[in-house]
Amino acid sequence: MKRNWKKIGLSVFLVTMMFIVTACGSQNEESNGNEETMVDREGFPITLPDGIDRIITIGPSNAEIIVELGFGDNIIQTDVFTTDVPGISDEITNLDIMSPDLEWIIELAPDIVFVTGMTRVQGDDDPLRLVSDAGITVIYMPTSTSIDDIKEDIRFIANVLGADERGEEIIADMTSEIQRIREIGAGITDKRTVYFEISPAPHLFSFGRGTFLNEMIEVIGAVNIFADEEGWIGVADESLLEANPDVILTSVNFLDDPIDEIVNRPGWDAITAVQNGDVFIIDTAASNRQSHNIIRALKEMAIAIYPDEFR
């Protein structure tokens, strides 16, 4: 029998192509099956559970965002620094933020655990490894250093919880308020200098560029006296007296009267801010936590620095 080699060759080619297409399709299906796998804000690979009903959050910033997204009732455990976050049950026993009880976390059987970057400061890249090895999704959230990073934290958590629309609403509100304040600040020509105190005497602590608080001072249209420094910094009396700020802000809340403590420090009566009575307290939680609530601190700071322009 005479074979038609052209037809046979065409058939072999078509079969081969069908095999390739089928193989590629199978690979795509396997890839699609892994779409639940992603990386957290620290770059760790995570796989989200099918449903998220039980949440543990370590870090008050994470808790504030989760509550604002509408999942406060799903939080079954927090840390000792999160007790003041509205919208979380008062009956929750709180974890040690630096060394959480991993066996207790596993026993609670959460669907997901959000962890602040502070929990990793002791040098362990994955301090909750025991929890993730038990099949629980652990998500590490870094200590964000910019307003944009905070927005991305909100967007990420919203995506994990299936609340993307609400997340974008929160971010849009933040952006609108920041832009409104920025426009007023941009029109201020007589820029006031500011010292923002995070820790009081004798261990003075503040910040320079590369922090969201420095960025907030810039949005207002003022100048951080330590803007030439980098990150979070210790402060010497001499450098502060030399800088002579127009305004002093403090977020210290563990003293009976932090303003009185500042104005009565030896030699500080020579500072312009002290002489003029321009020393103010800014809400500690709103200014120190990386969440949408920085807008509340931003407004307080704006009114304190430029009362005529922002009231």
Q: State the pTM of this model.
A: 0.85
pLDDT tier, 268 (very low <50, low <70, confident <90, very high otherwise) = very high
Residues contacting residue 268 through CB under 8 Å, at least 6 positions apart: 241, 262, 274
Residue 90 has pLDDT above 90, yes or no: no
Q: Are 130 and 115 in contact (CB under 8 A)?
A: no
pLDDT value for 3: 43
Give the mean model confidence (pLDDT) for residues 28-55: 74
Asked whether residue 273 carries a pLDDT value surpassing 80, the answer given is: yes
Domains and CATH numbers, the chain: 38-143 (3.40.50.1980), 190-310 (3.40.50.1980)
What mean pLDDT is predicted for residues 126-155?
94
Q: Which residue has the higher pLDDT, 90 or 136?
A: 136
**Lowest-pLDDT range, 123-137, 260-274, 276-290, 292-306?**
123-137
The per-residue pLDDT for 304 is 98
- The region of weakest confidence among 38-42, 70-74, 171-175, 182-186 is 38-42
Tell me: the pLDDT tens digits for 10-21? 343 333 333 333
Q: What is the pLDDT of residue 11?
A: 41
Arithmetic mean of pLDDT over the chain: 88
Q: What band does 44 get if pLDDT is binned at 50, 70 and 90?
A: confident
pLDDT band at 233 (very low <50, low <70, confident <90, very high): very high
- Please tell me the predicted confidence (pLDDT) of residue 123: 60
Please tell me which residue, 24 or 49, carries the higher pLDDT value: 49
pLDDT at 222 over 70: yes
Q: How high is the pLDDT of residue 124?
A: 67
- Express as a percent the part of the chain with pLDDT over 70: 87
pLDDT at 36: 58
- The mean pLDDT value for 72-78 works out to 96
Q: How far apart are CA 136 and CA 56, in angstroms?
A: 11
